[in-house]
Amino acid sequence: MHVKFCGFTQLDDVNTAVQLGADAVGLVFYPPSPRAVTVSQAKALVKRIPAFVSVVALVVNMADNELVELAHQVPFDIIQFHGDETPEQCQQLAYAVNKRWMKALRINAETDTLESVNNRIDRFAAAGASSILLDAYHPHKYGGTGARFDWSLIPKDSSLPIILAGGLNADNVADLLDMPIYGVDVSGGIEYDKGKKDAAKMRAFMKAVGK
Ligand SMILES: O=C(O)c1ccccc1N[C@@H]1O[C@H](COP(=O)(O)O)[C@@H](O)[C@H]1O
């Protein structure tokens, strides 16, 4: 199971995540988020991230010129599109900065079915996504809500590797170990306050996934 810890703002927390063996560290470039970082904060955090640990830039409906500028300033590895971006927009934006990317789909149990989730994944696969992230739908927020979605809507035969997010923590992540997913992503479940990570919660999370 691959693990991404997301929403870092503190150097010590990044160091702890790396020491614990996180595969990826996510930085939020979405100013309304309480976990958002500035370019200069991000540069300082990324300096602490060694080879073999991926840096993920989480963006929400970011304008083309802003993403190009961000990519010039911060050496990230992968873009996580977590807004309303269409497959075509993701493809164009990622091409403009020459980066791999994944798309977050917010799953709504009232309107989604396994078929609709698979169809949505297929559209992003055709546009060149390297993975898909499934998160819980919230009517007023794009993510980082701490809410889970109905896991029976996780496809078994997805055309892209699935990264599961939404309300994960050390107590529930083990329930995912038998599911057809490539990785997990957590933010709120490893925090004591927004953007401030709890070393014991990070450790417990890694233990729960057997890392
Ligand atoms: O973390 C945020 O503030 C955030 C803001 C806007 C979009 C996504 C955001 N976070 C991502 O949301 C999921 C689930 O987070 P949680 O574990 O339920 O807190 C995860 O991918 C975060 O990276």
* Closest by CA position to 168, among listed 155, 177, 156, 158: 177
Q: 50-69: per-residue pLDDT in tens?
A: 999 999 999 999 999 999 99
Q: Is 185 in the pocket of ligand 1 (CB under 6 A)?
A: yes
Q: 117-137: per-residue pLDDT in tens?
A: 999 999 999 999 999 999 999
Record the tokens describing residue 7, joined without a space. Answer: 């929403």
* Closest by CA position to 188, among listed 210, 173, 209: 173
Task: State the residue for tokens 């055309």.
Answer: 159
Burial class, 28, CB count within 10 angstroms (exposed 0-12 / middle 13-18 / buried 19+): buried
In words, the CATH class of domain 2-208 is: alpha beta
6 has catalytic annotation: yes
| Residues 132 and 105: beta-carbon distance below 8 Å | yes
Q: 88-118: per-residue pLDDT in tens?
A: 999 999 999 999 999 999 999 999 999 999 9
Quote the radius of gyration of the chain (alpha carbons, Å): 16
- Percent pLDDT > 70 in the chain is 100
Q: 165-183: per-residue pLDDT in tens?
A: 999 999 999 999 899 999 9
pLDDT of residue 115: 96
135 has catalytic annotation: yes
**Catalytic residue among 64, 135, 157, 185, which?**
135
| Residues 164 and 176: beta-carbon distance below 8 Å | yes
Record the tokens describing residue 95, joined without a space. Answer: 């091409």
pLDDT at 48 over 90: no
Calpha distance 10→43 (Å, rounded): 12
The residues pairing with 183 across neighbouring beta strands, listed in sequence order, are 2, 163
Q: Which atom, in ligand 1's list, is nearest to the CA of 6?
A: 23
By DSSP bridging, strand 196-197 and strand 191-193 are antiparallel
**Catalytic residue among 6, 13, 90, 185, which?**
6
Q: 175-206: per-residue pLDDT in tens?
A: 998 999 999 999 999 999 999 999 999 999 99
With cut-offs at 50, 70 and 90, classify the pLDDT of residue 38. Answer: very high
Q: Is 131 in the pocket of ligand 1 (CB under 6 A)?
A: no
Q: Is 155 in the pocket of ligand 1 (CB under 6 A)?
A: no
Q: Is 145 in the pocket of ligand 1 (CB under 6 A)?
A: yes
Q: What interface predicted TM-score (ipTM) does this complex get?
A: 0.98
Ligand 1 centroid to Cα of residue 88, in Å, is 23
pLDDT of residue 58: 98
| Residues 105 and 133: beta-carbon distance below 8 Å | yes
